[in-house]
A and B are shown apart, each in its own frame.
Chain A
Amino acid sequence: MRRKVVVTGIGMVTCLGTGVETNWEAIKAGRSGIGPISLFDTSLFVTRIAGEVRGEFDPAGRVPAKELRRMDRYQQFGLVAAGEAMTDSGFEGPPENPFRYGVVVGSGMGGLFTIETGVLQYHAKGPKALHPLLIPKAVINLCPGMLSIKYGFKGPNFGIVNACTSGTSAIGEGYWLVREGRADMVLAGGAEAVVTPLSVAAFNALRALSTRNGDPTAASRPFDKDRDGFVIAEGAGMLVLESEEHAARRGAHAYAEIAGYGATGDAYHFVMPDPEAEGAYHCMKMAVEDAEIAPSCIEYINAHGTSTDLNDKMETLAIRRLFGSHAYRMSISSTKSMTGHLIGAAGAVEAIYSLMALKTGVIPPTINLDNPDPACDLDYTPNKAATRQMEYALSNSFAFGGQNASLVFRRIT
């Protein structure tokens, strides 16, 4: 049985702010959220900039202050975004049959802050110094676990660890659960808090990050020939996925339909993408076929567009290969130019931007695209948002490790 799946609630926290509305305003205006890192002393670091969530990120008080200390930062982001999404969905619960309600959340690194702090305490004071909550704060499955407790969802519940693809994988797997009739509602998304000393230093060691410290808002420049790596960022995105029937029964408003999901593995290299774009091409192809549409129906792609030399070339090649001459007529953009790269939450926030693009007919820009790389010759919506009424949009995520995932969304008219 194949059921239609709609998105009825969305919520997010990024360096552009808390809430979909705040984010969408910033995205339409082409504003960058990248700035100097304030979470730790970066004086010895090669990269000193990031897409940091600044200051108070829970203005609506969605997570009780007393509960915050029991959670890692990534879990806090996840709960705040999920709170917004659940409120937005209008679902008041409690679920009639809780076993039909699931939670799937992706994260690349989970409670990295907690682990780093624990390691320092261990070395300073020995094994007895470790905090009893280190494990629940550190592990990735506790974000979906906490959300199940909060909302009483007792159906399928799991975390997904897929580096930069985690958020898209979580939505795709959640979509399949609802589509195949295993659940009626799934809260799905990604949460990440990787602006930590270890993470920034290690990505620097891998030579993956931009070092444009003097000009942070210009650092993330996907498809531009002067790009020099991605800008690491943090936050969360959460979506309420629901069977069309369940949504209709309670009179819920839907943003869009999830129409297709593709997932492949490069089987090529542990950090580099396949330069022939074999995995990415087949991933998009699978998502489009899953949606039972022709590739030419896709009019907007929210690209993975990391601002690394290899990804942006490879992704362009994959798009050309699948869409042929239509590749030059479609709108593409990388919202990472404004948010930076939220790793395991990236796919979730980008799914939300894609839904907003479909719903409002506004294509987000790719900012800092001043001198396009000759190898990147498509319409990436440079620097200014565009308008376009469209029926289908696609969102891509590609991970270190070769995991690829693509989602196809269909506008509801």
Chain B
Amino acid sequence: MDDLETRVIDLIAEVLVDVNKENIQMSSKIVEDLGAESLDIYDMIALLEDEFGLEIADEDVEKIQTVQDVADFIKQHQKAS
């Protein structure tokens, strides 16, 4: 796991009150496996935007399903900018 992936997991753990960090895998599905509800997702997006200096559009949010998807999205958009 690289540094960025660790940061993503930390942020997700911060938002999902009922989930232990140890139980978050890169392959975890954010809604199905980790139990995130819609407000958690928007909370998470706001944190990620702040942390990585990105803007994530709502249509991109819909494509993100796993923790890995989040990390990939950040990597792509950080490169692009």
Please state if A66 and B17 are interface contacts (CB–CB under 8 Å).
Answer: yes
Contact with B along A194-219 (1 / 0, CB 8 A): 00000000000000000000000000
* Chain A residues, CB < 8 A from B17: 64, 66-67, 70
Please state if B14 and A128 are interface contacts (CB–CB under 8 Å).
Answer: no
Please state if A132 and B39 are interface contacts (CB–CB under 8 Å).
Answer: yes
Interface residues of A in 56-91 (CB under 8 A from B): 64, 66-67, 69-70
Chain A residues within CB distance 8 Å of chain B? 64, 66-67, 69-70, 128, 131-133
Taking A128-B55, A133-B39, A133-B43 as given, write out 7 further A-B residue pairs in contact, using a Cβ cutoff of 8 Å, ordered by the A residue number.
Answer: A66-B14, A66-B17, A69-B14, A70-B17, A70-B43, A131-B43, A132-B43
* Chain B residues, CB < 8 A from A128: 55
CA distance A67 to B14 in the complex (A): 9
CA distance A69 to B17 in the complex (A): 10
Closest B residue to A131 using CB positions: B46
* Chain B residues, CB < 8 A from A69: 14
Main secondary structure of the interface of A (DSSP, over half): loop
Q: Inter-chain contact count A-B, CB under 8 Å?
A: 17
* Closest CB in chain A relative to B56 CB, distance in Å: 10
CA distance A67 to B15 in the complex (A): 9
Q: Is B42 an interface residue (CB 8 A)?
A: yes
* Chain A residues, CB < 8 A from B45: 132
CA distance A157 to B17 in the complex (A): 25
* Chain B residues, CB < 8 A from A132: 39, 42-43, 45-46
* Chain A residues, CB < 8 A from B14: 66, 69
Closest A residue to B43 using CB positions: A132
CA distance A69 to B46 in the complex (A): 13
* Chain A residues, CB < 8 A from B39: 132-133
* Chain A residues, CB < 8 A from B43: 70, 131-133
CA distance A109 to B38 in the complex (A): 28
* Closest CB in chain A relative to B13 CB, distance in Å: 8
CA distance A67 to B42 in the complex (A): 16
Closest B residue to A68 using CB positions: B17
CA distance A64 to B46 in the complex (A): 21
* Closest CB in chain B relative to A120 CB, distance in Å: 14
13 contacts between A and B (CB under 8 A): A64-B17, A66-B14, A66-B17, A67-B17, A69-B14, A70-B17, A70-B43, A131-B43, A131-B46, A132-B39, A132-B42, A132-B43, A132-B46
CA distance A133 to B17 in the complex (A): 14
CA distance A287 to B9 in the complex (A): 56
The winner among A64, A128, A132, A133 for most chain B CB atoms within 10 A is A132
